[in-house]
Amino acid sequence: MNLCEQTENKFIELFGVEPQLFKAPGRINLIGEHTDYNDGFVLPAAIDKAIVFAMQKNEGNLFRFYSIDYQEYVEFEKVELLEDAPFWSRYLLGVLAQMQKRNLHFEGVDCVFSGDIPLGAGLSSSAALESGFAFGVNALFDFQLESIDLVKIAQKAEHEYAGVKCGIMDQYASVFGKKKQVVQLDCRSNTHQYFPLELKEDIFLLVNTKVKHSLASSAYNKRREECDTAVEYFRKYYPNVTALRDVTDQMLNEHIGKPDALSFQRALFVVNENDRVVKATQALLEDDLQYFGELMYASHQGLKELYEVSCDELDFLVKETKKIPEIKGSRMMGGGFGGCTLNLMKESFVEDFKSQITIKYFDRFGIKPEFYLVNIQNGVESIKTC
């Protein structure tokens, strides 16, 4: 039984009616890390790991949710957080709360969902949960919200009900993703362009380090402070600078090491990374995956040396790929200090690589990595039939 059938059958078992079906994908970010909160560019894509929703209106003005993966059922009479409610329900309630703030009227909603997005791997399962549920509620009640509205509702739900001050990229990719296309998102204007991605004999493989170092959250906040320090410094000399997006190579060359060594390093990385996103889209237009892979390696090098958000496990996995001609590029993906590496390689080499790197990684760290093959797919959509 596939994911869709399982979700649909459970809904009918619980609620006794036929549901409408929706699907929302996770995402990868091909290049453009830590640029989002600097008003820069990112290059995400929706993937073929997703959450499936079975949903329907109910006449009881109740909000009844069931998570197949957690095997938990919750029921609410109104949209409010209850202390003993499971954490996953916050994402759904958060979406409804944002719709209420827009003065949208809805009755009760029944929802059963299940997914195959690996949890904790940096593939944005929470964004898929929010985006897919928002899409479903919009369809059920015919609110006719635009896609960008669904993105903003999903993001705000995570901010206010889940307590995570995320950027907009994850929800954006889940909603706007397209098969065989990547999304160049401008994080200043929240607008995007599509670029073609024809992998042919290649594929993306994620390698999960299975670690998450405790530095992650404190270092993230520190990096944001250092970026802000650099912005304040450059604004004194260039009044048009409101974010590191506005800083140029020439500005950096005229102020080497300023305002301090660390803030300068962070600014240099962000300026370079934005440039790499632009070059990466050009490489896709020219069907030059070899150069695209080189940009991935350069991104990781910057994240390791200039932004200092990598770790031994990530560095080891990336370094090992450089010895292998079948691999075009590799880099850490996400906030850093653990999580996954993203690898562009020949599909025919995947099984050999998994065998080799499992042994080497276990010998070095005593951990068996996990692997996820991903293909680029459409964003959130209705499913007509399982």
Segment 195-233, tens digit of pLDDT = 999 999 999 999 999 998 777 678 888 999 999 999 999
Longest dimension (CA), the chain: 69
Distance of CA 13 to the CA centre of its chain: 33
Write the burial class of residue 228 (CB in 10 Å: 0-12 exposed, 13-18 middle, 19+ buried): middle
Token pair, residue 187, equals: 């994080």
Q: How far apart are CA 333 and CA 300, in angstroms?
A: 9
Q: Whole-angstrom Cα distance, residue 77 to residue 108?
A: 9
Coil, strand or helix at 369: coil
How far apart are the C-alpha atoms of 328 and 139, rounded to whole Å?
41
* Secondary structure element (H or E) that encloses residue 320, with its range: helix 312-321
Between strands 108-115 and 41-42, the pairing is: unpaired
Strand partners, 76: 63
pLDDT in tens, 253-308: 999 999 999 999 999 999 999 999 999 999 999 999 999 999 999 999 999 999 99
What single letter denotes the amino acid at residue 13?
E
pLDDT of residue 216: 65
Contacts of 310 (CB under 8 A, 6+ apart): 300, 303, 304, 332, 336, 337
Provide the pLDDT for residue 262.
96
Domain residue limits, the chain: 3-197, 202-374
Tell me which residue has tokens 């880099």: 331
Tokens, residue 129: 């949960």
Cβ of 25: how many Cβ atoms within 10 Å? 30
Name residue, tokens 């549920």: 133
235: Cβ–Cβ under 8 A, 6 or more apart, which residues? Answer: 241, 242
Q: Rounded CA gap, 191 and 21, in Å?
A: 28
CATH of 202-374, one of 3.40.50.300, 3.40.718.10, 3.30.70.890, 2.160.10.10: 3.30.70.890
With a cut of 70, which residues of the chain have pLDDT below it?
161, 164, 216
> pLDDT at position 113, please?
98
Task: Write out the catalytic residue numbers.
Answer: 170
- Please give the class, per CATH, of domain 3-197: alpha beta
Q: What's the start-to-end Cα distance of the chain, in Å?
A: 10
What's the CA gap between 290 and 279, in Å, rounded? Answer: 12
Name the β-bridge partners of 281: none
pTM for the structure as a whole: 0.93
Kindly calculate the radius of gyration of the chain based on its CA atoms and give it in whole angstroms: 22
Q: What percent of the chain has pLDDT over 70?
A: 99
Q: How far apart are CA 363 and CA 24, in angstroms?
A: 37
What whole-number distance in Å separates Cα of residue 98 and Cα of residue 283?
Answer: 39
Note whether 3-197 and 202-374 share their fold: no
